Amino acid sequence: MSEQEIVCEDLNLALDDLRRKGFRLDVIYPADDPHSAVLSNGDSTIRLTTRPEAGEPTSELPAFQPGFVLTCAGNAAGEGRAGMLYRDLIPDRLGGRYIASHITIPEGGPVADWVHFHRIAAQVLYVARGWVRVVYEGQGAPFVLNAGDLVLQPPEIRHRVLESSNGLEVVEIAAPALHATFADHEMRLPNGVSDPARDFSGQHFLRHIGSGTPWTIFNGGEARETGLLDATDGLIEARTVRPGASSTIDFSAHRGELVFGFVLDGSAVVDYRDPFTVGLGDAFVIPPDEPWRLSSMSADFGLLHVTTAQLD
């Protein structure tokens, strides 16, 4: 078996050239801004990279480095995997522990995706606008995720994005920040197996349908809970939050790691040390062990709120 590394200037052009020569894509990373890929053709393996000095994904979780983050809407998005546009919501990655991306597909239709999986500790996707049709290993026929819906992608579950509406917007949160996308050339989805209760490294696939979930009282506001806490055995929790009877929504100090918010609609003031105003498309991270509050919320305000326990 021969192995070769090729340093190129344009990864997409180099990928197209090798595919024309009969090579198939086995691995690509990172998803938000791909710079490296592994392809094979029989006994030949080629690693393409535009950044030979960059580190490779490992199974080790980088040490969590807590901090405050505020990322405003309007930041430039770059082209990521399968032609999707990615906007980085946690630029410092909290020490490489977490990545959060605002993924968009401006012009809908079929998505140039393939059956793949990730070796990750956690991965959650929430549809903020539009719809997307997806298919997952052991979960039956393809289905549509609409605005307000969420999926938990447990470690190594095979899946594929099939098509989307115009203006699709998805918020994705994953750990670790640097992880690879592995192609599965053997599996075809749907795979004809129904196994919704399958255990994936202590997690279970979850499809949360927002429109079918009632609003409940939450710390002065209202929330749609997702069931993530049970599906991940206490690892991740997520909810959609909106104003309620009170003029504020209080959040106690979180005894874990990630405290993440993404503004789905409207505007509000986040009272954390020095208060700041957030609006549509803004994202923020509050350090753990710090209380905070939402106030001055517009009537249409909506927030995706995600927290994690200690991943170790």
Q: How does pLDDT run across 46-75, given as a tens digit for each residue?
A: 999 999 999 889 878 999 999 999 999 987
Same domain, 295 and 197: no
Say which residues have a Cβ less than 8 Å from residue 13's Cβ, sequence separation at least 6.
Answer: none
Greatest alpha-carbon pair distance for the chain in Å reads 67
Residue 253 lies in a domain: yes
Structure-token match 């918010």, residue found: 261
**Paired strand residues for 202:** none
Q: How confident is the model at residue 1 (pLDDT cuts 50, 70, 90)?
A: low
Same domain, 193 and 256: no
Residue 68 lies in a domain: no
Same domain, 194 and 80: yes
> Which two three-digit tokens encode residue 293?
């509050």
Residue 56 lies in a domain: no
Residue range(s) defining the domain that contains residue 283: 211-308
Q: How does pLDDT run across 263-276, given as a tens digit for each residue?
A: 999 999 999 999 99
Same domain, 123 and 196: yes
- CA–CA gap between residue 180 and residue 27 (Å, rounded): 7
Residue 71 lies in a domain: no
Q: Is the pLDDT of residue 178 over 80?
A: yes
Same domain, 23 and 128: no
Same domain, 231 and 246: yes
Same domain, 95 and 189: yes
pLDDT of residue 129: 98
Same domain, 177 and 272: no
SS3 string, 9-72, reads: CCHHHHHHHHHHCCCEEEEEECCCCCCEEEEEECCEEEEEECCCCCCCCCCCCCCCCCCCEEEC
Write down how long the chain is.
312
Stretch 90-107: mean pLDDT, rounded?
A: 96
Residue by residue, DSSP assigns the chain as -EEEEEE-S-HHHHHHHHHHTT-EEEEEE-SSS--EEEEEETTEEEEEES-TTSPPP-SSPPPP----EEE-TT---EE-GGG-EEEES-TTGGGGT-EEEEEEESS-EE----SEE---SEEEEEEEESEEEEEETTB-S-EEEETT-EEE--TT--EEEEEE-TTEEEEEEEESSS--EEE-SS--SS-S-B-TT--BTTB--EEE-GGGS--EEETTEEEEE-SHHHHTTTSEEEEEEE--SSS-EEEPPPSSS-EEEEEEESEEEEESSS-EEEETT-EEEPPTT--EEEES--TT-EEEEEEE----
- CA–CA gap between residue 10 and residue 155 (Å, rounded): 30
The CB density around residue 63, as the number of other CB atoms within 10 Å, is 10
Q: How confident is the model at residue 83 (pLDDT cuts 50, 70, 90)?
A: confident
Q: Is the pLDDT of residue 243 over 90?
A: yes
pLDDT of residue 165: 97
How many structural domains compose the chain?
A: 3
Q: What is the CA radius of gyration of the chain?
A: 20
Structure-token match 């208060």, residue found: 275
Q: Is the pLDDT of residue 312 over 90?
A: no
Same domain, 242 and 265: yes
Q: Report how far apart, in Å, the C-alpha atoms of 148 and of each of 159, 194, 238 are.
A: 20, 25, 12
Same domain, 229 and 302: yes
Same domain, 39 and 84: no
Same domain, 93 and 193: yes
Q: How confident is the model at residue 79 (pLDDT cuts 50, 70, 90)?
A: confident
Q: How does pLDDT run across 105-153, given as a tens digit for each residue?
A: 999 999 999 999 999 999 999 999 999 999 999 999 999 999 999 999 9
Residue 66 lies in a domain: no
Residue 28 lies in a domain: yes
What's the chain's average pLDDT?
A: 95
- CA–CA gap between residue 73 and residue 197 (Å, rounded): 38
Residue 23 lies in a domain: yes
The domain that holds 169 is classified in CATH as 2.60.120.10
Residue 256 lies in a domain: yes
Which pTM does this prediction carry?
0.95
pLDDT of residue 3: 84
